[in-house]
């Protein structure tokens, strides 16, 4: 999801690192809260806090917890219990529209998270209320905790499901920066409809020994493998 966040925070989101709680700001909710490290790194690179603060990640007493914490500047809501982020984002979209602020709400889901029933209740709710200021992005890397998405609980036909619930649907290569900017910058994708962007991604993209490997959902690299991984993504 690094490419998705890079485009959101450098090209799309109307946010101010100097004033993270600006009333008219766009909102971003990382529903897949276990991917906290990527969001923290993005916020640091954008100036919400210093990069050096990331050295405390997952240490006792740090605000940089392993699941996303709203104690971190720029984070809207603590997440990690999967299936909660989208309902929260829907509530935000309804609230900012009612307040007449014109803000947009973006929510990033994992594909495995779409097994959760609370998401599908939200997926019904948003079109009913015509929340065209809401954009959901699904990081569709086809792998979840204990196997492939197709094996654990097949989501296909995925795009058709969203369409049948009344959403405007876009399907793109989630690593294509130009496509991401084009689609995410076009909100609302359709008047009176929420938008979902199904971003087809590769788990471990750019690292030869990680790509599409289930075990890297949990593993941490050794010092030697870290050096190799950084060299490969920097090449």
Residues 71-83: pLDDT tens digits?
Answer: 999 999 999 889 9
Place of tokens 């100036």: 47
Is 185 in the same domain as 220?
A: no
- Count CB-CB contacts under 10 A for residue 56: 12
183 has a pLDDT exceeding 90? yes
Is 42 in the same domain as 89?
A: yes
What pLDDT is attached to residue 68? 97
Domain of 29 in residue numbering reads as 2-201
Is 185 in the same domain as 233?
A: no
Do the strands 143-144 and 147-148 form a parallel or antiparallel pair, or are they unpaired? antiparallel
206 has a pLDDT exceeding 90? yes
User: Among 76, 72, 164, 68, which Cα is nearest to 110's?
Assistant: 68
Is 194 in the same domain as 226?
A: no
Tell me the average pLDDT across 45-73. 97
- Count CB-CB contacts under 10 A for residue 128: 9
What pLDDT is attached to residue 161? 98
Is 111 in the same domain as 171?
A: yes
Is 156 in the same domain as 175?
A: yes
What pLDDT is attached to residue 75? 98
Is 160 in the same domain as 95?
A: yes
Left, alpha or beta for 213 (phi > 0: left; psi -120 to 50: alpha)?
beta
| Band of pLDDT at residue 51, cut at 50, 70 and 90 | very high
Task: Please count the structural domains in the chain.
Answer: 2
| Band of pLDDT at residue 115, cut at 50, 70 and 90 | very high
Is 129 in the same domain as 73?
A: yes
What pLDDT is attached to residue 217? 86
What pLDDT is attached to residue 80? 87
Is 167 in the same domain as 187?
A: yes
Tell me the average pLDDT across 144-168. 96
Q: Report pTM.
A: 0.96
Is 188 in the same domain as 226?
A: no
Is 212 in the same domain as 183?
A: no
101 has a pLDDT exceeding 90? no
């Amino acid at each position: 999801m690094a490419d998705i966040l890079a485009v959101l925070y450098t090209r799309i989101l109307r946010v101010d690192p100097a004033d993270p709680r600006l009333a008219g700001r766009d909102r971003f909710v990382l529903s897949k809260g276990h991917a906290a490290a990527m969001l923290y790194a993005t916020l640091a690179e954008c100036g919400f806090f210093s990069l050096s603060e990331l050295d405390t990640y997952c240490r006792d007493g740090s605000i940089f917890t392993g699941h996303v914490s709203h104690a971190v500047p720029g984070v809207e809501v603590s997440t990690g219990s999967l299936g909660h982020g989208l309902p929260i984002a829907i509530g935000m979209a309804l609230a900012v529209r009612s307040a007449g602020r014109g803000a947009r709400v973006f929510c990033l889901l994992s594909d495995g998270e779409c097994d959760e029933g609370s998401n599908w209740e939200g997926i019904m709710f948003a079109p009913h209320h015509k929340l065209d200021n809401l954009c959901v992005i699904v990081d569709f890397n086809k792998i979840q905790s204990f196997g492939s998405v197709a094996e654990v609980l097949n989501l296909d036909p995925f795009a058709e499901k969203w369409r049948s619930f009344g959403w405007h649907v876009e399907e793109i290569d989630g690593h294509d920066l130009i496509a991401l900017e084009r689609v995410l910058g076009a909100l609302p994708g359709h008047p009176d409809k929420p938008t979902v962007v199904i971003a087809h991604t590769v788990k471990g993209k750019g690292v030869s020994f990680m790509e599409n490997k289930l075990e890297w959902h949990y593993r941490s690299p050794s010092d030697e493998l870290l050096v190799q991984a950084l060299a490969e993504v920097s090449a």
